[in-house]
Amino acid sequence: MVFIAEEGLNIKGTLYLVATPIGNLEDISFRALRILKEVDLIAAEDTRHAMKLLNHFQIKKPLLSYHEHNKVNKGNFLIEKLLEGTDIALVSDAGTPGISDPGEDIVKLCIDNDVKVTMIPGAVAAIMGLVLSGISSGRFVFEGFLPMHKKNRKEKILLLKDELRTIVLYEAPHKLKATLNDLYEVLGDRKIALARELTKKYEEIIYLSLNEAILKYQIDSPRGEYVVVIEGANPLEAIEKNKSKWNDISFEEHYQMYISEGLEKKAAIKKVAQDRGISKREVYNSLI
């Protein structure tokens, strides 16, 4: 929409990232509906899917597809339209665009082109799954989908082994069993929650351990899309592990490592003491 700003003519449009429901259509916000009605064009991850949502709310707008495989060309096209003054809404198949969904790249393009980009916030499956998991939600890491290939997936999980914060993942039903197995092999048994069909009729949050989940899905078939919430590493075990990793080198080598990094003698002794969970005096005595 072209408008006259106080300072002069401003012909640029605005990009609105509009969150849509992750299941229950009542979760759309008043503002989301208003913006979808007001914009000139709606870019959608899947136009047929978006059409169902728009039909439900009796919204008729030109639709254009914007997804992972056309995002470079369509992204440039959308920026051109925005620069010409077209107001555009971007919707993904479900939830918040930009969260494991197309959105990230177009936001960067808007910033680079000095185009106003804003968001109509709403549902995010990861947040709902985390909050209902009963696992600490104070500090968490969101990993989205783990890599498809087993080797890459295991490498990724290995990087999460010492993560103290709660880990939140997305998973599709046909990959859930393989992911649970890999998680168990690398992380050991941990408390998890499996949140499926969130906001839908058969919404279910299953509270169990990784091993119990593996046993469950030897019998049951995973159904629906999942948010997998995994408790972080045990802090005491992590501290012990961190301490023991220094057992392989002598106090002198450990101290010299910090000296070579440019630390003063006192600071190096303090760091060695911290790493090993012992007093500075003990380090000092072992060095003389």
**Binding residues for ligand SAM (CB under 6 A):** 22-23, 92, 94-96, 99-101, 124-126, 170-172, 195-200, 225-227
The token pair that represents 263 in the structure block: 């630390």
- Please say whether the beta carbons of 190 and 230 come within 8 A: yes
- For residues 83-115, one letter each, b for 16 or more C-beta atoms within 10 angstroms of the residue's C-beta and e for the rest, the string is eebbbbbbbbbbbbbbbbbbbeebbebbeeeeb
Nearer to ligand SAM, 141 or 278 (CB): 141
Least distance from C-beta 275 to ligand SAM, angstroms? 39
Q: Which is nearer to ligand SAM, 49 or 165 (CB)?
A: 49
Give residues with Cβ within 8 angstroms of 232, minimum separation 6.
136, 139, 163, 164, 165, 166, 167
Output the smallest distance, CB 212 to ligand SAM, in A: 20
Q: Please state, in angstroms and rounded to a whole number, the distance separating the CA atoms of residues 12 and 115.
A: 7
Nearer to ligand SAM, 13 or 97 (CB): 97
When the beta carbons of 210 and 272 are compared against ligand SAM, the nearer one is: 210
Q: The tokens 């990793």 sit on which residue?
A: 245
Place of tokens 């995002």: 71
Radius of gyration (C-alpha) of the chain in whole angstroms: 25
Contact (CB, 8 A) for 104 and 111: no
Q: How far is CA 148 from the centre of its chain?
A: 16
Sheet containing 166-171: give its strands across.
140-145, 166-171, 226-230, 191-196, 204-209
Residue at shortest CB range from ligand SAM: 95
Shortest distance, position 39 Cβ to ligand SAM, whole Å: 19
- Least Cβ distance, residue 127 to ligand SAM (angstroms): 8
Residue with Cβ nearer ligand SAM (17 or 283): 17
Q: Establish how many alpha carbons lie within 13 A of residue 172's alpha carbon, considering only the half-sphere containing its beta carbon.
A: 7
Q: Which is nearer to ligand SAM, 79 or 124 (CB)?
A: 124
Query: Minimal distance in Å, beta carbon 17 to ligand SAM?
Result: 10
Q: Which residues contact 31 (CB under 8 A, 6 or more apart)?
A: 120
Q: Which residue's CB is nearer to ligand SAM, number 223 or number 241?
A: 223
Q: Which amino acid is at 273?
A: A
Closest distance of CB 123 from ligand SAM, Å: 6
In the complex, least distance from residue 128 CB atom to ligand SAM, rounded to whole angstroms: 8
| Paired strand residues for 117 | 15
- Name which of 226 and 258 has its Cβ closer to ligand SAM: 226
The least distance separating ligand SAM from the CB of residue 144, rounded to whole angstroms, comes to 8
The tokens describing 177, both together, are 């069993």
